[in-house]
Amino acid sequence: MGIYQIHGISDLLKGNRYPGRGIVIGKSDDGKKAVAAYFIMGRSANSRNRIFTKKNGEVFTEPFDASKVEDPSLIIYAAVRSYENHLIVTNGNQTDTIYDGLKAGLSFNKALESREFEPDSPNFTPRISGMLTFDHGDFTYQMSILKSIDEEGSACARYGFSYPAKAGLGHFLHTYVQDGDPIPTFQGEPERVAIGSDIDQVTADIWNALDADNKISLYVRMIDLETGKEENRLVNKNQ
């Protein structure tokens, strides 16, 4: 199948101690649902001290134990927000940047021009983002990764991807290739992954394949393209 091979997401995750944070977007194999998932992992005590919470249809990272928070700037943020017919999913506070940009009439990519990778030398964690746009009973989606162009963090390289929704196909973008010191940044296009129609199975496939020591939280949303009805699953290791 070559470049058109579609992987099981659990196959991509199993045995990988640290893919970091990850976004999956695609269409269910029955062609009836839009699917978006986001997970976070952590190696430090500060990163592991987190949970996902859902409020008014939005998903936030919050401290599990507020007394142990060391630096909230890169770990506490809105991960999932909606604006009009758009659903935004990101690994940082650029969720709000995209949301505010859309309100101001900017495109997804244009809004992200004001941001770059995270300032956490020597890793320079990429900012990964996704957005689903719903129209006429279907949707398209975009993904973006902003990462350092070199090991010094001297400038930001920007990569954007746009996809039509195809039944059974999704794309998976994560911050790191694997564990390391410094941690190697994700390379290439978002990975092609199979997307099922059972939200509990999709949730289990991702959660059970993530490294047991480093996984923290997972959120999965399926949206019925005909009715707009949502299904949500939220898993926190700390709860």
Q: Which CATH architecture has domain 2-236?
A: 4-Layer Sandwich (3.60)
Tokens of 231: 């299904």
At 70, the amino acid letter reads E
Q: How far apart are CA 46 and CA 65, in angstroms?
A: 10
Strand partners, 35: 26, 222
Question: HSE-up of 134 (CA within 13 Å, CB side)?
Answer: 20
Q: Note down pLDDT in tens along the chain; length 239 residues.
A: 688 999 999 999 999 999 999 999 999 999 999 999 999 999 988 889 899 999 999 999 999 988 888 877 777 899 999 999 999 999 999 999 999 999 999 999 999 999 999 999 999 999 999 999 999 999 999 999 999 999 999 999 999 999 999 999 999 999 999 999 999 999 999 999 999 999 999 999 999 999 999 999 999 999 999 999 999 999 999 98
Contact 167, 131 (CB under 8 A): no
Q: How far apart are CA 19 and CA 211, in angstroms?
A: 9
Beta strands in the chain (DSSP E): 22-27, 33-41, 50-55, 58-63, 78-83, 86-90, 127-135, 138-148, 156-164, 169-174, 191-194, 215-224, 230-236
At 194, the amino acid letter reads A
Instruction: Give pLDDT, residue 1.
Output: 61
Contact 64, 49 (CB under 8 A): yes
Output DSSP code: residue 3.
Answer: G
CA nearest to 130, candidates 159, 100, 169, 167: 159
Q: How far is CA 201 from the centre of its chain?
A: 18
Percent helix, percent strand, percent coil in the chain, to nearest 5: 15, 40, 40
Q: How far apart are CA 204 and CA 98, in angstroms?
A: 29
Contact 192, 205 (CB under 8 A): no
